[in-house]
Amino acid sequence: MRGGWLQFGAIAFASYAIAEDLAYSPPYYPSPWASGLGDWEDAVEKAREFVSQLTLLEKVNLTTGVGWMQEDCVGQVGSIPRLGFRSLCLQDGPLGIRFADYVSAFPAGVNVGATFSKELAYRRGRAMGAEQRDKGVDILLGPAIGPLGRSPDGGRNWEGYSPDPVNSGILVAETIKGIQDSGVIATAKHYIANEQERFRQAGEARGYGFNISESSSSNIDDITMHELYLWPFADAVRAGVGAVMCSYNQINNSYGCGNSYTQNKLLKAELGFQGFIMSDWSAHHSGVGSALAGLDMSMPGDTAFGTGLSFWGANLTIAVANGTVPEWRVDDMAVRIMAAYYKVNREEAQIPINFNSWTRDEFGYQHALVSKRYGRVNERVNVRARHANLIRQVAAASVVLLKNKGSLPLTGSEKTTAIIGEDAGPNILGPNSCPDRGCANGTLAMGWGSGTADFPYLVAPAEAIQNEILYHGEGVVTPIFHNWATSQIISAASQSTVSLVFVNAGSGEGYISVDGNEGDRKNLTLWKNGDELIETVAANCNNTVVVIHSSGPVLVNEWNEHPNITAILWAGLPGQESGNSIADVLYGRVNPGGKSPFTWGKSAGDYGAPILREPNNGNGAPQVDFTEGIFIDYRGFDKANKTPIYEFGFGLSYTSFEYSDLEVEPLRSRPYIPTRGKTKRARKYGESDDNLSSHLFPEGFDRIPLYIYPWVNTTDPAKASMDPHYGLPTDEYVPSGATDGSPQDLLPASGAAGGHPGLYDVLYEISATVTNTGGILGDEVPQLYVSLGGPNDAKVMLRNFDRFTIAPGEAKVWKTTLTRRDISNWDPVSQNWVISEYPKTVYVGSSSRNLPLSAPLPFRKH
């Protein structure tokens, strides 16, 4: 048996035993205080000045949400009326504004992954940030890079970019820059290893009939953590992300929001994160424990939705007053929150909140949970600007052409076009009829869950295609939206010049189950009879084009080689302009240039990292062992020697490209010297006041029921805290070193936001020529891979990419780079990145399995 800190209750119970054979998360204390590293210097300085003016209660107000449905946004912290500082508004999500009207529904993250376009990622981020800003939101709850996509059926994979950490890392950084350039704080989430919906929350799992007492634990070794799951978070931190959201799951049997190793050590000490960590909604499980383990903001503030009680709020005030949480820790929470605020120039961008998450009506309750203060809560501000054009552009750029025997592009003058499948048509109950998009009716343009937005309209594929045909004025068009109308389908298909079959498969967040898919997909096959539908059409029409809308890979091997299937396209989850964007590609206005952001295997088993479906630890936390290490998606296929149907990075064009002239030039660089030395000591800002009588509710204060306030009810701390375990001796739940504010050792791999700055030094410049050898203008995504050469390394790993438009006959020289991080492995012994002695190779090509150019990397030690 081994001791551990159970992060549950207001305190962390000591001497709770972790069985020897369960993964264990080593303690790392104290929680690092913001130092103003690198380009955070100004923001942290302004934050310190601001926080220096605050009382303890005001600081606590900044850290704690006021409770579920108590204000306009999905999360809001307390305000500081004395300084005219309004409550910060936090709002979902990664593809648009949830719970609001007159907003845009952008393409999902996975579509951005498929564009492989840094520019489009930035522009989409900027537009999403602008919409949030114009509704009055301070903190956008996205982008998502966790789940990364360990398993192809993971419910929320689509909210992020790709199971490849470099695709995700580069695109998340651009998204964050875009959002924050609009003056809104971005949130990188969910930190970390939140790779399956099943068992992510014990209560939710019980609802599905699994009697477990704790959330599942993602058990990950240090190398896999650094080389895979932490990688894109490092890019997010380096891009200046203001907030990180900790996740529902445990990591090595310690909760995401109470894990000192992931929060204090990895994120704050090693990656040098200067912003704040907020809890996922109800992922906060302990008061003192989480504060010491690095959590900075409790969301939505209450212990569970609507309890009116909080692990923080009054409890945090009491914990500072009774000395268990050092005042510098609460000061650091406030400094980090305000640093993020200044980092994005919020003070210039902030406008009043003009919507309310809990009603689309103009008038409603300000405090919806308790139906208090009726008034005008929704000004119905249209924030969409001209974003529809960008949405259509991103969606079209993300289409991946998987097969084309020459039938595409279409002309629009085809004599007869059949459009077949429910996925081609509208949801007859309206595009937003299912709350949080939790159904599968009509065309699929978004997954389900909190990462959704209301469609302002949804252009269904059939609508845009029919318009196309009418515009040309020659063809006949037959749309059929019923997947089981076999005789009508056979009749239409057999009379058509071309049949466009639309099929789908969705997934989403665990609190909604659609057709038995409890967030995660229950299988990798198409929904609603999709395979049979395709085969029926193909048996009757020799020019069958298949379009797939899905949140991830589906099994296509039953029919992808069918001679009558002349083209296959994956359009992902394209958002409001779905129909227009697919028509752009089908009719050749846009030459497809998207590349698959994941691998298409022949069977679910080929992926090798399955979702844990059944509890495996009695009633305790299910143990999800990430034994596959870094070998997910294409790395796993390569390692197991499994041939995919379509590989990661693959996508065709209406033109063709050739690769030539690879050149590798080593650059001089400074040596990589591990960071040494110590931090400064922790500092307190503003007044101290340990006397609880100064923290009593003001006389005559008009309390909103069930609202979370920082004040106490009585000067008796045990009574005020209402905690049955109040007052247990601190040595039982305050980990050793947790309250130590003295200078701390710096970690060897630390030094700047994103980790040691030397990791980002460019060690090689690489160039290659890409020539458009076909007849029309097109986009190509040249991809750079490396092999690090060691026995435990992946065969190849993506390291960089770009996307270019190239004219017919034109040869473009692609210049790219490899950094030190790109050719290093994580060494758990020295706790740093090292360049191994194994011979390394660099590859350039158009997919993870089509790498025509390669060269050995000249050896270097540093």
Q: Which residues are catalytic?
A: 280
Dihedral sign, Cα of residue 147, residue 149, residue 154, residue 160? positive
**Beta carbon nearer to ligand NAG, 413 or 769:** 413
CA angle (417, 423, 425) in 5-degree steps: 65
What is the 3 state secondary structure string of 311-328?
A: CCCHHHHHHHHCCCCCHH
Nearest to 73 by CA among 343, 356, 294, 467: 356
**Beta carbon nearer to ligand NAG, 543 or 787:** 543
Q: How far is the CB of 335 from ligand NAG (least distance, A)?
A: 17
CA 627/CA 679 separation, integer angstroms: 36
CA 93/CA 107 separation, integer angstroms: 12
Q: Look at the block and give the residue holding tokens 């409603």.
A: 364
Contact in structure between 271 and 750 (CB atoms under 8 Å): yes
- The residue at minimum Cβ distance from ligand NAG is 78
Report the chain's C-alpha Rg in angstroms: 27
**Beta carbon nearer to ligand NAG, 53 or 769:** 53
**Beta carbon nearer to ligand NAG, 380 or 725:** 725
**Beta carbon nearer to ligand NAG, 633 or 723:** 723
**Beta carbon nearer to ligand NAG, 316 or 394:** 316
**Beta carbon nearer to ligand NAG, 64 or 783:** 64
Q: How far is the CB of 174 from ligand NAG (least distance, A)?
A: 28
Collapsing DSSP states into helix, strand and coil, what is residue 751?
coil
CA 285/CA 311 separation, integer angstroms: 7
Instruction: Determine how β-strand 89-91 pairs with β-strand 75-76.
Output: antiparallel
User: Which residues of 748-831 form beta strands (DSSP E)?
Assistant: 762-772, 778-780, 783-787, 797-801, 804-806, 811-819, 825-827
**Beta carbon nearer to ligand NAG, 488 or 564:** 564
Q: How far is the CB of 659 from ligand NAG (least distance, A)?
A: 30
Q: How many residues appear in the chain?
A: 862
Q: How far is the CB of 2 from ligand NAG (least distance, A)?
A: 11
Q: Look at the block and give the residue holding tokens 């203001």.
A: 242
Q: How far is the CB of 354 from ligand NAG (least distance, A)?
A: 18
Contact in structure between 547 and 520 (CB atoms under 8 Å): no
First-to-final CA distance of the chain = 42
Collapsing DSSP states into helix, strand and coil, what is residue 223?
helix
Collapsing DSSP states into helix, strand and coil, what is residue 291?
helix
**Beta carbon nearer to ligand NAG, 714 or 773:** 714
Measured CA distances, 209 to 198, 204, 617 (Å): 11, 9, 15
CA angle (203, 75, 82) in 5-degree steps: 135
Burial of 375 (0-12, 13-18, 19+ CB in 10 A): exposed
Residues sharing a CB contact under 8 Å with residue 609, sequence separation 6 or more, in sequence order: 150, 151, 626, 628, 631, 632, 636
Q: How far is the CB of 98 from ligand NAG (least distance, A)?
A: 20
Residues sharing a CB contact under 8 Å with residue 710, sequence separation 6 or more, in sequence order: 56, 57, 58, 60, 61, 64, 78, 313, 314, 316, 317, 695
The DSSP H or E segment spanning 187 is strand 185-191
Q: How far is the CB of 287 from ligand NAG (least distance, A)?
A: 5
**Within 10 Å of residue 666's Cβ, how many Cβ atoms?**
13
Q: How far is the CB of 689 from ligand NAG (least distance, A)?
A: 9
**Beta carbon nearer to ligand NAG, 385 or 722:** 722
Contact in structure between 192 and 564 (CB atoms under 8 Å): no
Q: How far is the CB of 75 from ligand NAG (least distance, A)?
A: 13
Q: How far is the CB of 176 from ligand NAG (least distance, A)?
A: 23
Q: How far is the CB of 475 from ligand NAG (least distance, A)?
A: 16
Instruction: Determine how β-strand 657-666 pairs with β-strand 762-772.
Output: antiparallel
The DSSP H or E segment spanning 403 is strand 400-404
Q: Using the CB atoms, write b or e for 69-83: b if 16+ within 10 Å.
A: bbbbbbbbbbbbeee
Whether omega for the bond prior to residue 704 falls within 30 degrees of 0, making it cis, is no
**Beta carbon nearer to ligand NAG, 423 or 802:** 423
DSSP 8-state assignment for residue 692: G
Tokens encoding 217: 């634990």
CA 380/CA 373 separation, integer angstroms: 19
CA 849/CA 843 separation, integer angstroms: 10
**Beta carbon nearer to ligand NAG, 210 or 804:** 210
- Amino acid 178 reads G
Contact in structure between 63 and 298 (CB atoms under 8 Å): yes
Q: How far is the CB of 520 from ligand NAG (least distance, A)?
A: 11
Q: How far is the CB of 122 from ligand NAG (least distance, A)?
A: 31
**Beta carbon nearer to ligand NAG, 239 or 309:** 309
